[in-house]
Structures are given as C-alpha cells and as structure tokens.
Amino acid sequence: MNFEYNEKTQALLEKLRAFMKDEVYPIEQEYIHAVENGKDRWKTPAMMQALKQKAREAGLWNLFLPEEYKPYGAGLTNAEYAPLCEEMGRVLFSSEIFNCSAPDTGNMEVLAKYGNEAQQEKWLVPLLNGEIRSAFAMTEPAVASSDATNIETSITRDGDEYVINGKKWYTSGAMNENCKIMVVMGKTDFDAPRHQQQSQILVPMDTKGVTIVRPMAAMGFYDEPIGHAEVLFENVRVPAENLLVGEGKGFEIAQGRLGPGRIHHCMRLIGCAQRALDMACERVESRIAFGKPLAKQQSIRETIAKMHCDIEQARLLTLKAADKMDRYGNKVSRDLIAAIKIVAPTMACNVIDDAIQMHGAAGTSQDFVLSAMYAYARTIKLADGPDQVHMMQLGRNLIADKNA
C-alpha cells in the first residue's frame, strides 16, 4: 500500500495548484460578482472563456476522462484524478475552467461509452473542446425520482422520430445559454420488465416543444450561470437516431454514468471541506475574543483537530474506492462508491458548518464562500441518489454477502 501520489499526479497537482493560485483565487470574488450582477444571469462571464483557454494550453484539460477513453482525455486513473478533482473543488466554479464540471463530465462519458460515431461527432467533440455545455434530465416533480423506475416521461416511436412528453426539474446546467444538448431519460415501453422500460435520448435545447419553465433554487442559491431548470417537454420530436444504444437501455446507461459522477462529487467535496478548514485555521488565529486569539481556546483546537480527522478519513475512503474502480471496474466497486457517497457530503456539511461557526456572522456573509459551499455540500446528500437509497443498497449488499 502506497499513500504517496505518483510522479505524474504530483507534477499535475503542482501545475494545477499554481494555476489556482495565479489565475483562479485572485478572480474568485470578481467572477461571483460578475455572475450576480451581469445583465443576463444565465450567461457565463467572458473571463471563463479566457481561463479555459489558459487551462487548455497548460495541459489541464479533460483530466476526468480515464485511460479507456484515450485519445479523448488525459488518460488518468481515478486514483490519479482524485487529488486534482479535490483541488478544483476548493473553488465552486473552477471545475468548468478545466472542462471537468458536472453534468458535462457524466454526459461526455456517456457519449464516449454509448454514443455512435455521428452522436460523438455532433455532441461529444464540442463538449470535449469546451465549446458547448449539456444537461441530464431524469428527475421529475410528479414522482419520487430517487427510485428511477418511477419516472413517467414518455418517449414514443413515431416513424423516423421519437416523441417526448413529460416534465423534469432540477435539470442542472439547462439554464445556461451555452447548454445545447440534454440527455433525457424516459420510458419507451411502460409494460416491459421494471428495469427495461427506460431509454435515454439526446434532445437539442432548441427543439420545438422544449420549454424552460423556471430556474429552481437549491437552498436559496440559483447557482447562476449554470442553474437547475424545470423543463417541460410537449410533443418534442427528435430523429430516431438520437436514441442512445437502444430501447430499454436507459437504466443500464444511468448506472454506468453514476459511478464516476458520484465519486467526482466526493472528491470536490473533500476540496471544499479542506478549504473551509484552511479558512477556519486562518480566521481563529487573527480573531481575538476574551483576551486571546480564538486559536488559543481548547474547544476551537479540538474542533479543528476533529475537522482534519473527518476530512482525512473521507479522503482515504475516496482513494480506496477510486483505486478499486481502477483495478476491478466500477461495478465491482459499487459498495465502496456507495460508502463514500454516504460519508463525504455529511462530512463536508459538518466541516463547513464548523468553519462558518468560527467565522461568526461573516461566515454566513457574501464576503466568504462558506455559505455557498455549505449549500453545495447539502444538496449532494440528495443529488446522484439520496443518502438513504445508498444506505439501503449498501446494507442490502452487505447482508447478502455475509449470507451468501
């Protein structure tokens, strides 16, 4: 067992840290201000494009795509990508700079793995180049979508086309003006066996019948300029060749995308939590209460120590899951992926909450990024499967394994 990052990872990490220090932290507040005060809240500020260009030139591009997708990605293993993704997680919008942000990463993996040549040419190439953005529409307001077999959106074959009807919400990314394509999950056969009813289909955003109803808030944040949309599909017609793989394969594709997507969220959350701890350590050194710096209070030191322990535990579990994915594949690693998806969001919520407390009122203010970080961490207890569903499945597997 070796706990050191290999040379390739260390070199990339050094480069990424330098990029974050020189290019990202200095403009963090400016970017947030530009988003909040721009004329169009769903338009990505111009500085993003310039940063993307620099990142690409620096070789910090598409780092998330593992070896199997070469020549598309950087060819890193999950374990090699983990500390890099963590570093990006320190600034909420920074993953996009390196073309490593959700939901594009999941959509690119789906297109690389399941798309045909024409679909890849039309959608994967511009996504890999960071020219467009994308969304994934599965969750529906009308049904408990944590059980994906419940979804009701219909995808009906009509000659050379499919006709889509339904309503989705929390479709992340769909508010952004640069979002050009949605991967939509619906049902092609309501009478088929439970896990063969679903299919996934590509729907360009400008297709007739697609209506953005409203942006959805997540803990009061609208996450501009990306956003989470409520989307109505009314007799939306797309060519039959927009279907991914084939009818009845939707569930299989969804499972395939969620493994890497889930662990990437955990990696980012570890970065978020680490930054919150770093900020807390600085704050308690400079803030004087009752005659001495907060840092000299025993309870503050204990909390700081506990924050560190919790982050380190989650980091090691993430790396163990990533390593198993690299060695044995995503399917065999499902229990460790579930375990870290249960652990990381709650860990991050608790650590960020402690950091907010140590900052006092400032921790809740617009001058610090902690409240937005907290909201992000809290929503990941729901997104990509609520904690309870992961616990239900992990518990079931563990009991079954013991009794096999």
Ligand X SMILES: Cc1cc2nc3c(=O)[nH]c(=O)nc-3n(C[C@H](O)[C@H](O)[C@H](O)COP(=O)(O)OP(=O)(O)OC[C@H]3O[C@@H](n4cnc5c(N)ncnc54)[C@H](O)[C@@H]3O)c2cc1C
Q: Give me the least distance between CB of 388 and ligand X, in Å please.
A: 3
- List the one residue from 137, 243, 339, 370 that touches ligand X (CB under 6 A): 137
Q: To 10 degrees, what angle do helices 104-114 and 250-286 make?
A: 150
Alpha carbons 52 and 14: distance in angstroms, whole number: 18
**Which amino acid, one-letter code, is at 154?**
S
**Which amino acid, one-letter code, is at 37?**
N
Q: Does 392 bind ligand X (CB under 6 A)?
A: yes
- 58 or 143, CB closer to ligand X? 143
Alpha carbons 263 and 85: distance in angstroms, whole number: 10
CB 181 within 8 A of CB 137: no
- 138 or 325, CB closer to ligand X? 138
Alpha carbons 171 and 229: distance in angstroms, whole number: 5
Give the count of beta carbons closer than 10 Å to the beta carbon of residue 158.
Answer: 10
Among the listed ranges 135-143, 187-195, 265-273, 332-340, the one in contact with ligand X (CB under 6 A) is 135-143
Q: Give me the least distance between CB of 170 and ligand X, in Å please.
A: 4
Q: Does 324 bind ligand X (CB under 6 A)?
A: no
Phi-psi region of 293 (alpha: psi -120 to 50; beta: other; left: phi over 0): beta
- 138 or 351, CB closer to ligand X? 138
Distances (CA, A) of 303 to 11, 284, 315, 353: 33, 11, 18, 11
| DSSP element (H, E) containing 185 | strand 179-187
Q: Does 139 bind ligand X (CB under 6 A)?
A: yes
Using CB under 6 A as the binding rule, the residues of this chain from 79 to 118 that contact ligand X are 103
3-state secondary structure of 155: strand
Beta bridge partners of 211: 232
Among the listed ranges 107-115, 143-151, 250-258, 262-270, the one in contact with ligand X (CB under 6 A) is 143-151
Q: Does 281 bind ligand X (CB under 6 A)?
A: no
Q: Does 134 bind ligand X (CB under 6 A)?
A: no
- List the one residue from 121, 388, 395, 396 that touches ligand X (CB under 6 A): 388
- 115 or 385, CB closer to ligand X? 385
Q: Does 166 bind ligand X (CB under 6 A)?
A: no
- List the one residue from 144, 192, 332, 399 that touches ligand X (CB under 6 A): 144
- List the one residue from 9, 44, 172, 242 that touches ligand X (CB under 6 A): 172
Residues 6+ apart with CB under 8 A from 327: none
Among the listed ranges 12-20, 110-118, 137-145, 247-255, the one in contact with ligand X (CB under 6 A) is 137-145
Among the listed ranges 33-41, 166-174, 283-291, 292-300, the one in contact with ligand X (CB under 6 A) is 166-174
Radius of gyration of the chain (CA): 21
Q: To 10 degrees, what angle do helices 46-57 and 28-37 make?
A: 140
Q: Does 389 bind ligand X (CB under 6 A)?
A: yes
Alpha carbons 212 and 232: distance in angstroms, whole number: 6
Q: Does 232 bind ligand X (CB under 6 A)?
A: no
- List the one residue from 110, 383, 390, 394 that touches ligand X (CB under 6 A): 383
- List the one residue from 19, 69, 170, 368 that touches ligand X (CB under 6 A): 170
- 245 or 389, CB closer to ligand X? 389
Alpha carbons 227 and 219: distance in angstroms, whole number: 13
Place of tokens 């992000």: 376
What value, to the nearest 5°, has the Cα angle with vertex 219 and ends 215 and 224? 40
- 218 or 347, CB closer to ligand X? 218
Using CB under 6 A as the binding rule, the residues of this chain from 343 to 382 that contact ligand X are 379, 382
Q: Name the residue among 149, 158, 250 with its Cα closest to residue 199.
A: 250
Q: Does 251 bind ligand X (CB under 6 A)?
A: no
- List the one residue from 218, 258, 269, 307 that touches ligand X (CB under 6 A): 218
Q: Does 212 bind ligand X (CB under 6 A)?
A: no
What value, to the nearest 5°, has the Cα angle with vertex 221 and ends 363 and 166? 155
Footprint of ligand X on this chain (CB under 6 A)?
Answer: 103, 136-139, 144-146, 170-172, 218, 228, 379, 382-383, 385-386, 388-389, 392
